[in-house]
Amino acid sequence: MIRLFSAPSEITDNMIRLSAENTEHIRALRLRPSELFTVFSGEGLDYLCRLGQRGDVSVAEIIETRPSLGEPTIDACVYIALAKGDRLDYAVQKSVELGAGEVVIYPSDRSVATPGDMIKKIARLQRISLETAKQSGRGRIPEVAAAHTFVDAIDRAAKAGLPLFLYECEEKQSMKNALEQHPDARTVSIVSGPEGGFEAHEAESARAAGMLTVTLGPRILRCETAPAAALAAIMYHTGNM
């Protein structure tokens, strides 16, 4: 079924004013007046709709309102280190697809990429979040934010009920053990490293802040794969997959 996004300000009790972008999309798909489609506002609700009177493509008539089934029961924030090329795009896309509630981009000592114009970078990644949320049936649009330093990212990530630091040199604590030891955690943070991995002092800083260093197994995962693998494991363990 076609899925569109409309801002909350465009939604009234039983009608939705469709944006120019949505109107163009509906025309391109040649949607018939009798066909149903879904609109979501990013607030956790889905609106089952049909076109307005006489097939007016600028207005959607709300047939039914229901909670979005695409939102997980656990709030996961993914912290992704700056990476080169399209790796960052991929990591953000897959994090949103798998159910992340928020994504934070941060610099790490071994990051190959430079911050550059972070305002433009975050705006582009936020657009990826929006498009991915529409495609994957999410009810919310995860925010993409930036932490200016590694310390800022760790200080924030450590406040989660289950703060996980994905460290390639960790040999004892597995992701599975960490999840089993914190069955009641409703918020999770996942801090994933850059192409070259973390420096030892970064892992020590994370531990000192209260984070749990965990391993994802004997294989070294690429920087764009690790956050998706960790998030998938969390969603599976918590019954969200």
Which two structure tokens, joined as six digits, stand for 68?
A: 């979005």
Specify the CATH number for the domain of residue 10. Answer: 2.40.240.20
pLDDT digits (tens, 9 = 90+) for 146-203: 999 999 999 999 999 999 999 999 989 999 999 999 999 999 999 999 998 999 999 9
- Give dist(CA 228, CA 91) in Å, integer: 7
Looking at the fold, whether 159 and 220 belong to one and the same domain comes out as: yes
pLDDT number for residue 58: 87
Looking at the fold, whether 47 and 162 belong to one and the same domain comes out as: no
Q: Which domain holds residue 13?
A: 3-67
Radius of gyration of the chain measured on its C-alpha atoms: 20
Looking at the fold, whether 40 and 93 belong to one and the same domain comes out as: no
Which two structure tokens, joined as six digits, stand for 187?
A: 């918020």
Closest CA to 196 of 64, 81, 50, 48: 81
Q: Which amino acid is at 182?
A: H
Among 15, 49, 67, the domain boundary falls at 67
Looking at the fold, whether 144 and 94 belong to one and the same domain comes out as: yes
Looking at the fold, whether 229 and 166 belong to one and the same domain comes out as: yes
User: Which residue's structure tokens are 């909670």?
Assistant: 67
Q: Kindly indicate the confidence band of residue 52, based on its pLDDT and cuts at 50, 70 and 90.
A: confident
Looking at the fold, whether 34 and 60 belong to one and the same domain comes out as: yes
Looking at the fold, whether 177 and 222 belong to one and the same domain comes out as: yes
**Neighbouring-strand partners of residue 164:** 190, 212
* Domains: count for the chain: 2
pLDDT digits (tens, 9 = 90+) for 24-43: 999 998 888 888 999 998 88
Looking at the fold, whether 29 and 112 belong to one and the same domain comes out as: no
How many Cβ atoms from other residues are within 10 Å of residue 22's Cβ?
Answer: 21
Looking at the fold, whether 46 and 145 belong to one and the same domain comes out as: no
Looking at the fold, whether 136 and 189 belong to one and the same domain comes out as: yes
- Give dist(CA 25, CA 236) in Å, integer: 34
